[in-house]
Amino acid sequence: ETGVTQTPRHLVMGMTNKKSLKCEQHLGHNAMYWYKQSAKKPLELMFVYSLEERVENNSVPSRFSPECPNSSHLFLHLHTLQPEDSALYLCASSQEFKVSPTGELFFGEGSRLTVL
Amino acid sequence: QKEVEQNSGPLSVPEGAIASLNCTYSDRGSQSFFWYRQYSGKSPELIMFIYSNGDKEDGRFTAQLNKASQYVSLLIRDSQPSDSATYLCAVNRGFGNEKLTFGTGTRLTIIP
């Protein structure tokens, strides 16, 4: 089983829909992240959870709502999105948040979101 | 000015040659520097990290850091077609994952 698993891999939704992205990590890590990857733009950090507590929220619109019920699972709830929100949403985990020997992030393969 | 700047490419290098990927950053307080490789349709994976000025070698990969010039590079020796990917440079003010700032990436193509 891969370290970080994301579902669904592809999602098409209308602007009025409500959907959720799911991420699960099997690495025993304490920190989980949501990143947004758009074409020609750098990876943008959206949210960080450390031991199920949100520690970073990078001015993300409220139409994106994260949830971390335990250290292995992370959700991104989507509501009334805009077409410009179409992107690849990457979940990642790391051993710890602030103190990490290598700073390594382990990424899932992403959820490709298209908003019509 | 972009926080982390990379030439988007594509950079084409013949098989067996040295591929040189460059990255500049704007925050002088940056302490740690990372290179991630992302194959098309796949997730990024860490290949090198460097904290100190100078060179750090790992197999065919060498990371070079010059904090005075705010410049970090990745050299790939004996380039292979399997090295064809997008290479993402990332920097951090701390030594953990407080806030990795990524560049847009350089697309590298190794020509057989």
> pLDDT tens digits for A88-100?
999 999 887 765 5
Whether B43 and A110 lie within 8 Å, measured CB to CB: yes
CA atoms within 13 A on the CB side of B52: 4
CB A78 within 8 A of CB A18: yes
pLDDT at A16: 86
* pLDDT above 90 (res A38): yes
Candidates B5, B27, B97: best to mutate against A (most CBs of A within 10 A) is B97
Do the Cβ atoms of B104 and A107 come within 8 Å? no
Across A53-79, average pLDDT: 91
Report whether pLDDT(A108) > 80.
yes
pLDDT of residue B57: 97
Average pLDDT, rounded, for chain A? 90
For residue range A3-34, list pLDDT tens digits in order: 999 999 999 998 888 999 999 999 999 999 99
Shortest CA gap B65–chain A (Å): 16
Q: What is the spatial distance between Cα A29 and Cα A107, in angstroms, rounded to a whole number?
A: 12
Write out pLDDT tens, residues B8-32.
889 999 999 999 999 999 988 888 8
Check B101 against A40: CB less than 8 A apart: no
Q: What is the model's pLDDT at position B96?
A: 57
Q: How far from B66 is each of A11, A21, B7, B62, B85, CA to CA, in Å?
A: 42, 40, 18, 13, 24
Q: Do A103 and B32 touch (CB under 8 A)?
A: yes
Question: Which residues sit opposite B23 in a β-bridge?
Answer: B72
Region class of B8: left (phi > 0), else alpha (psi between -120 and 50), else beta: alpha
Measured between CA atoms, how close is A102 to chain B, in angstroms? 7
d(CA B73, CA B55): 9
- The pLDDT tens digits for B42-98 are 999 999 999 999 999 999 999 999 999 999 999 999 999 999 999 999 998 766 556
Weakest-pLDDT range from A20-24, A37-41, A53-57, B103-107: A53-57
Q: A85: which DSSP letter?
A: G
Q: How confident is the model at residue A40 (pLDDT cuts 50, 70, 90)?
A: confident
**Contact yes or no for B99 and A45 at CB 8 A:** yes
Residue B61 to residues A1, A3, A50, B83, B97, Cα–Cα distance (Å): 28, 24, 32, 11, 23
Q: Are B77 and B14 in contact, with CB atoms under 8 Å apart? A: no
When comparing pLDDT for B9 and A68, which is higher?
Answer: A68
